[in-house]
Structures are given as structure tokens and as C-alpha cells.
Amino acid sequence: MPITGPAATRRAILAGTAALPLFAIRTRPARAADFSFKLANNSPATHPQTVRQMEAVARIKQATGGAVDIAVFPNNQLGSDTDMLSQLRSGAIDFFTLSGLILSTLVPPAAINGVGFAFKDYATVWKAMDGALGAYVRKEIDKRGLLAMDKMWDNGFRQITSSTRAIRTPEDLKGFKIRVPISPLWTSMFEAFGASPISINFSEVYSALQTKIAEGQENPLTLIQIAKLYEVQKYCSLTSHMWDGFWMLANKRSFQSMPENFQQIVAKELNASAVQEREDIAKLNDTVAADLKAKGLEFIEVDKAQFRAALKQAGFYAQWQKKFGDEAWGILESQVGSLA
Ligand code: X2X
């Protein structure tokens, strides 16, 4: 029986799709990109993350003869991290850099690099994230429908700032209203210290501090400087309580819509820029504290071992070992040593 009506029309159109791109290409203006993508992040336009992403997309455009054109939207222009993650999943955004800890709301194992005081230095961070731990997390991200590029981007070791009290010991955190990103691990860690964590997206942090909805927050020094958080904070305690980095995520359908040689170019250039961004942050780390001091932030050296002991005593490590499971925890410890 012949099939007629809208369904048949749809089928006829689908059957003809192979011919459509040719037709479409011929009618487009000269040099229009074949693949127009959006890349979004939460970092200010002057942050090395954004600067290096702009360079990567320029190289990609050149290497593909203009066929792959990626527009960069920094500074939460397309929404908060939570919004952008759903846009990435739906394909409204094609590429998005997101902290592994925030990504853990979708991919729980992605929080593993944020375990308190796990990494002693950058050498250990990059060995783990470019090695076994990163490979494990990328596999888990893939299972949940997103792609992660091989090289993570540095955010940094996180330090606690405050506008009210100076945080010198773990006891000083008791009842402290601290903004944390939206992620169970962050909330759990500050609850273990006895603080009162408030989950807020980065897009709202400056105003939350300014209006004192939160007394303090924690972020790497570079971001405290570039996002001007020092304007609304007084003290900075050098806790380095966690290392945090961004995964360069891609929507799978978008990425795989490109021919393989373009996929390789995009991945290669994004990874190359990630490595350069790490070097930028490392250089900034040498100067940023002095600059923040000059801007009036009061720095406090703390005994990190005390903070770590407080977490341990509160059962933080035991709780998260159980949540992450033996495989993930085993890989983490193989990289950073025993956390018991
Ligand atoms: O939200 C934050 O504090 C930030 C910018 O550091 C992250 O992306 C986790």
C-alpha cells in the first residue's frame, strides 16, 4: 500500500539527505564555515583560559581553511555553569570548560581530583591528570554522553578568602558562611570543617560577597585577582585545600559531525592551548600574591596539616572513599600516595 501524507514527505526528505549538503554548500556565501560552533566558559575575558581558547579557535579556523569556526563566549555570557552544562548536553553549546567538581553533578567520579589535600604540588597534579586518573575520569565522562579532551586546563590550588574573620585554624571555619560552587564534594568538605557552605554559581559570587550573603569564598589566587574578588574580601588564608581544573567538554553529536581530520585538528589545538594555559597560570602564581597584597588583601599562612587532620577526624576521607569506590580511590592513591 503506498504511503502518502506528511510521514511520506518526511521519509522522502530523509532519504534525500545525502544530496542536501552539496546543495546547501553551493548556495552558501563564499567561505562560510561548514561547522559553526560555540565554546563557552565561566572565566573573565582576560583570564588565560579565555585568552588561550581564543588562540586555539583562530588556529583551528586557519588549519581547516575556514571550515571550522568556533566562537568563544567567556565570562558566563551564555549563563551560569549549571545552565551551560545543560546547554552543552542539548547541543545549544558545543564546547564548554567546566570544573570536574561541578561536572560531578552529572558524572560523580569527575569530582575525584577535589579530594581535600590530595595533591601536594603541580608535578603530582599533571602526572595524575595527564595519566591514569585523568584517563579514568574521561572514560566516565564518555559513558555519560559527553566527550572530554585529553588535556585539562588549570584553575589552581584553592585558597580561602573572607570579609569578616581571619581564618587561621580549622576552628575559625566553624559557622563561617562560605560560598562554594554547586557540587556535593565542596559542600561536604566545608561541612566537615563545621562551616556553613552556601552553593552559588560563579556568575553570582562577586555580588554574594558584596552583599555579604556569604562572608567568604575559596578560589585560586589568579581568579581572585582577575575576577576582582579582592575588592570585596579582606583576608586570604593560604590553605591550598584542593586542586581544581577544567575539563574541555564537547557535545558528542557536534564533535562527531566533523570529518575525522577536523576532529583531530580541533582536539590537537585545544590540547595545545590547555598546556600553554597551565604555563600562564604557573607564571602568574609567582607574582599574583604580591599584587593582591598591594591591593590590600591580608595574607595568612596556615598549618595545612591541621586542616587535613580536621577533615580526617570528621570522617571526610572515609566517606568519600566509599562514595568514589575502591577502583577510583585506588587510582587516586596510586598517584598521590595513601590518604588514610
Ligand atoms: O566557581 C568557581 O569558584 C570556579 C570559577 O573556580 C569554578 O569554576 C569551580
Residue 340: per-residue pLDDT: 78
**Distance of CA 336 from the midpoint of ligand 1 (Å):** 23
**12 within a domain of the structure (yes/no):** no
Q: Is the CB of 183 under 6 A from ligand 1?
A: no
Q: Which residues of the chain have pLDDT under 70?
A: 1-31
**53 within a domain of the structure (yes/no):** yes
**24 within a domain of the structure (yes/no):** no
**40 within a domain of the structure (yes/no):** yes
CB atoms within 10 A of CB 208: 18
Residue 19: per-residue pLDDT: 42
Residue 21: per-residue pLDDT: 46
**98 within a domain of the structure (yes/no):** yes
Residue 24: per-residue pLDDT: 44
**227 within a domain of the structure (yes/no):** yes
Pocket test for ligand 1, best of 49, 99, 183, 187 (most atoms within 8 A of CB): 99
Going by C-alpha positions, the residue among 145, 41, 172 that lies closest to residue 89 is: 145
Q: Which helix (H) or strand (E) holds 323?
A: helix 316-336
Instruction: For residues 231 and 227, give the distance between their C-alpha atoms in angstroms, rounded to a whole number.
Output: 9
Range(s) of the domain holding residue 332: 32-336
Number of domains, the chain? 1
What CATH number is attached to the domain comprising 301?
A: 3.40.190.170
Q: Which residue has the cell 566537615?
A: 192
**7 within a domain of the structure (yes/no):** no
Residue 158 CA, closest ligand 1 atom number: 6
**Looking at residue 163, what DSSP letter applies?**
S
**324 within a domain of the structure (yes/no):** yes
Residue 32: per-residue pLDDT: 79
